[in-house]
Amino acid sequence: MSNRVTITDHATGKSIDLETIEPTLGARLIDIQPLFRELGLLTYDPGFTATASCSSTITYLDGAKGELLYRGYPIEQLVEQSSFIETCFLLLCGHLPSKAELDQFSSEVLQESLLQEEMKRFFEGFRPNAHPMAIMVGVVGALSAFYHDFQDIHDPQNRKHSAKLLVAKMATIAAWSYRYANGLPFTYPRGDYNYVENFLHMMFSLPTNDYTPNPLAVRALEVIMISHADHEQNASTSTVRLAGSSEANPFASIAAGIGSLWGPAHGGANEAVIRMLEEIRASDQPLEHYIERAKDRKDRFRLMGFGHRIYKNYDPRAKILRKLCHEVVEGCKTTKETQELLELALRLEQVALEDEYFKQRKLYPNVDFYSGIIMLSIGIPLNMFTVIFAMARTVGWVSQWNEMFGDGHSKIGRPRQCYTGVEERDYLPMKQRKK
Ligand code: ACO
C-alpha cells in the first residue's frame, strides 16, 4: 500500500505528495504539515470532524464497532476486573501495576487527598446555592496558588507528582463542594478506605452517625468512574491539551478542562438527561411528542444522552451502565420516582432506536443516558453528576497532559481560521460616520 496521498490544486495546477501515517489502530492519517508551506493552502474542519490534533498512546475508540480500550485493555474487562485506582495507574503509567506498585500508588494518592486547611475559605467564599461545578472550576484553578513547587512542567517527576496530586485532591474538592452547599461540616478522607469509598464517606458521613459506604453503591461508582476515566481527544481533553500547550500550570489547565466538560453537549449531559426525563414524566404529552421535537430542526430540543461524534454504534460505556442501572435500581432502595425514570428511559431508548431519523443518523444512547439514574439511586444529587464525571476524568486529563510534554512534539496549539469578515478599510472619524 502506498504511503502517499497526492493533493492537486486545480486553481494553480500545483500538486504535492503528502505522507500518510499508519496508526497502531484506526484510520490512516495524512500529514498535512507541508501543505501550507508548499501550496499556500489551509485545511478547513470546524469541530475537528476529520482532524487528529495529536498522537496518543492512551485510549483508543472505534466508533463503528463501539469499542473502547484504555492502554489496549477493553473497557468491559476493566469494569469487571479492575478498580478505579488501578485504572488510574494504568492510564498514567501505561501498564497494569504489580501489587507493590498499586499499594504504593494508592498510598501516595491517599496522602495527597487532604486539602490545605486555608482552602476551606475558598469554599466559604461561594454562595451556598452555587452550582458545585462552579465551585470545582474555582477551587481547582486556585490549587495553582498552593502548589508552586510542582509547576515546572518540563520536569517529568514534577509532572507525575502534580498529576497524582490532582487525582487525589479532586475527590475531596468534589465532596466538599456538596458539603458546603448543604451546610454540612467538611469531612476528611480516611486511611482505611479506597478512593471511591472515601468519596462516598466525604459526601455522606455525619459526625452524629456511623457511616459505612454501601458495597453496591461503591461498586456502582467504581464502574461509573472507570467508564468515565478517559475518552481520547474529546472537547474537555482537547481543552486541557490546548491550555497546557502554552505551558500554563497543570491546575489552570485542568480547570479549563472542567469548564469545557460542564456544557450539556459534553459532560453536562448527565444532568440534562435527568431533567429531560423528569420533564417528560411530568408532562401530559406522550413520549412520541418529544421524539418529534428532537427531530424538528426548528426546535432546539435534542434527546439528551443520545448521539456521539465518534460512536456510530452503541456506546460501550452506555451498554455497561444500562446493565448496571437495573442491578442498582433493584439492589438499592431506589425511590418510586427513580424507578419510573428508568422505565421511561428504557421506553425512550426503544422508541428512538426504532425511529428512522435516529437509525439513519446512527444515534445511540451515550455514556450519559443511564449514568444519572444510577447516581440518583445511590443518593447522589443531580447537581453533583457532572462533578463526578470531572472527578473521574481528571486522570484522563492529567495522563494526556503529561503525555503531551513527554512525547517531545509539544508545540503551542494554534488553529488557523477561514476569515469571512470585511476586507481592509480606512478608519472613519466620528464626524463622518452615519448618525
Ligand atoms: N437528538 C436529536 N438529533 C440529534 C441528536 C440528539 N441527541 N444528536 C445528533 N442529532 C442529529 C443532528 O441534528 C444532526 O442531524 P442532521 O444531519 O439532520 O443535521 C445529526 O444527528 C448529526 O449530529 P451532529 O450534531 O452533527 O453531531 P455531532 O457529532 O456534532 O454532535 C453530540 C455530537 C454533541 C453528542 C450530539 O449528538 C448531541 O448534542 N447529543 C445530545 C447531548 C449529549 O448527550 N451529549 C453527551 C455526549 S457524550 C459526552 O460528551 C460525554
With a 6 A CB cut-off, is 402 part of the ligand 1 pocket? no
pTM of the model: 0.96
* Ligand 1 centroid to residue 344 C-alpha, Å: 21
With a 6 A CB cut-off, is 306 part of the ligand 1 pocket? yes
With a 6 A CB cut-off, is 244 part of the ligand 1 pocket? no
Distance CA 235, CA 241 (A): 10
- C-alpha 427: how far from chain center: 45
With a 6 A CB cut-off, is 269 part of the ligand 1 pocket? yes
- Which residue puts its alpha carbon closest to atom 46 of ligand 1? 266
Q: Sorting pLDDT into bands at 50, 70 and 90, what band is 407?
A: confident
- pLDDT for residue 409: 75
Distance CA 302, CA 395 (A): 30
Q: Sorting pLDDT into bands at 50, 70 and 90, what band is 150?
A: low
- Which residue puts its alpha carbon closest to atom 10 of ligand 1? 307
Q: Known catalytic residues?
A: 308, 368
Distance CA 130, CA 418 (A): 39
CA dihedral 67, 69, 72, 73 (to 10 degrees): -100
* Ligand 1 centroid to residue 113 C-alpha, Å: 37
Q: Burial, 286: exposed, middle or buried (Cβ in 10 Å; 0-12, 13-18, 19+)?
A: exposed
Q: Mutation test of ligand 1: which of 230, 274, 361, 385 has the most ligand atoms closer than 8 Å to its C-beta?
A: 361
With a 6 A CB cut-off, is 307 part of the ligand 1 pocket? yes
* pLDDT at residue 377 is higher than 70: yes
φ and ψ at 194, to 5 degrees?
Answer: -85, 180
- Which residue puts its alpha carbon closest to atom 12 of ligand 1? 361
* Ligand 1 centroid to residue 306 C-alpha, Å: 7
With a 6 A CB cut-off, is 232 part of the ligand 1 pocket? no
- Which residue puts its alpha carbon closest to atom 41 of ligand 1? 304
* pLDDT at residue 181 is higher than 70: yes
Q: Are 90 and 70 in contact (CB under 8 A)?
A: yes
pLDDT digits (tens, 9 = 90+) for 254-303: 999 999 999 999 999 999 999 999 999 999 999 999 999 999 999 999 99
Q: Are 83 and 89 in contact (CB under 8 A)?
A: no
With a 6 A CB cut-off, is 363 part of the ligand 1 pocket? yes
* pLDDT at residue 155 is higher than 80: yes
Q: At what angle do helices 385-406 and 215-228 cross, to 10 degrees?
A: 40
Residue 116 β-bridge partners: none
* Ligand 1 centroid to residue 331 C-alpha, Å: 33
CA dihedral 5, 6, 7, 10 (to 10 degrees): -150
With a 6 A CB cut-off, is 302 part of the ligand 1 pocket? yes
Distance CA 53, CA 324 (A): 34
pLDDT digits (tens, 9 = 90+) for 209-220: 889 999 999 999
* Ligand 1 centroid to residue 265 C-alpha, Å: 8
SS3 at position 48: helix
Q: Are 253 and 243 in contact (CB under 8 A)?
A: yes
If you average pLDDT over residues 323-342, what whole number do you get? 90
If you average pLDDT over residues 396-404, what whole number do you get? 97
Distance CA 344, CA 370 (A): 11
* Ligand 1 centroid to residue 304 C-alpha, Å: 9
